[in-house]
Amino acid sequence: MLRRTKIIATMGPATDDPKALDALIQAGVDVVRLNFSHGSHEEHRERAETVRNRARAHGRQVGVLCDLQGPKIRIERFKEGKVVLEEGARFVLDASLGSDDGTAERVGIAYKQLPEDVKRGDTLLLDDGHVVLWVEDSLGAEIVCRVVVGGELSNNKGINRQGGGLSAKALTDKDRADIKVAADMRCDYLALSFPRCADDVNEARELLRQAGGHGGIIAKIERAEAMNNLEEIIEASDAVMIARGDLGVEIGDAELPAVQKRIIHIARGLDRVVITATQMMQSMVESPIPTRAEVFDVANAVIDGTDAVMLSAETATGKYPDKVVAAMDRICKGAERQRNAMVTERRQQMHFNRIDEAIAKAAMYTANHLGVKAIAALTESGATPLWMSRISSGIPIYALTRHVETRRKVTLYRGVYPVSFDVTSTDHAEVNREAIDELVRRGAVRDGDLVIITKGDLAGVLGGTNAMKILRVGEHELHQDEL
């Protein structure tokens, strides 16, 4: 059984060993994430090149996602490396304090404008909410707080304001420099951290294009205020990532499950890709097997329709990077066998703006009602298989394309599988035969199976898909009328 939901694995020290990387690819990873919050540009370049080379050696296509750090809203460092804050104690966040001078009474902050963004009565959450501070006053460079929930606090932990509202811009000077590197690496996707509105997404796309990059833009939904502009952010993006860490801290954990479902639903309705991320298999950083709660978390995201599930520390620094991918693979396949993960979406009052979109949706409707075994979408940009993948189905969609960039792009689309295929003939019947022969060679179909082929009259034209053909394997050399 082919897995339709895609798996993203974060690269790191645990995957740098060639044997570990080979095992990760063999376990079924579809896209690797390079986290620009850590590591040097040279490390990221080397990892991307190594992944592509090893994937090619395994006969696989693996996409590369570059994840920008975004604004660094964090505390600085402590003299002793960490402190323990007692409930009820006074604690000061001090923008004027040296970066290594933190004590149990005060600590520096990397985001120097923070005192201007908070006021008495605000709640600040440090280290993903493990430490909670109530703001008594904000005076000059100092934010005077009272510890509501105490505990251990170590260097460089994140700061969130409950309810959101921090003014930090999504793109920093570091991000702008990193975008140029990502473009030079030919990244397939660029993830934007902490966008507040569509303008942030548009700016990131413009900077990537100016640098010569052609990757898709992923908006990470992790700010409370992003929820107020959700649809415009999704529409401006190629994909969205539900970054449940910071988002959960800002809106509250109790709100997160419903918000996750809402984002998945909206993204699919707007024909955008959606990724579910953060602590999906966190226990497997140390354990070779997941908890039951993690199994349910991954499975529920799959049943809700997520395109991809993402691993962070589990593969970057964990003890069992290949085992966690293999476990996620099993869970996804199990969830995909459930009927409500395969039902067809019937959209009322649907209106098509493009011919290729109409062909894509018509092909899926036909496939789901005719017993088709596979779909071969001959594509230049990957748009047709993307639209197809928005309709729930258990039918595999093969994106046949000569462009390596398109093959890497579709590694993120649910139920879509990249195939290297170059149209060398102007004879449509010959192209059909070659496409079906490729699916037969892959074991996707056999004699007697029905196959749908979508393509354009003119090869090599972007957005040119205007035809759908239904063929039966074994009879595909006979003339068939175009629908």
Residue of 6, 47, 196, 220 marked active site: 220
Residue of 5, 10, 15, 278 marked active site: 278
Query: What value, to the nearest 5°, has the Cα angle with vertex 29 and ends 26 and 35?
Result: 130
Spatial contact of 283 and 292, defined as CB atoms under 8 Å apart: no
Q: Is position 74 annotated as part of the catalytic site?
A: yes
By DSSP bridging, strand 450-456 and strand 465-472 are: antiparallel
Mean pLDDT confidence for 289-304: 97
pLDDT score for 167? 86
The number of beta carbons lying within 10 Å of the beta carbon of residue 357 is 21
Residue of 6, 52, 74, 77 marked active site: 74
pTM of the shown model? 0.92
Q: Is position 77 annotated as part of the catalytic site?
A: no
Instruction: Give CA–CA dist 345/34, Å, rounded.
Output: 34
- Using one digit for the tens of pLDDT, what is the confidence trace for 329-375? 999 999 999 865 555 454 545 678 889 999 999 999 999 999 999 99
- Using one digit for the tens of pLDDT, what is the confidence trace for 136-192? 999 999 999 999 999 999 999 999 999 988 888 999 999 999 999 999 999 999 999
Residue of 3, 4, 33, 373 marked active site: 33
Q: Is position 315 annotated as part of the catalytic site?
A: no
pLDDT score for 166? 87
Can you state the angle between helices 292-304 and 256-269, rounded to 10 degrees? Answer: 30
Q: Is position 291 annotated as part of the catalytic site?
A: no
Instruction: Give CA–CA dist 110/347, Å, rounded.
Output: 47
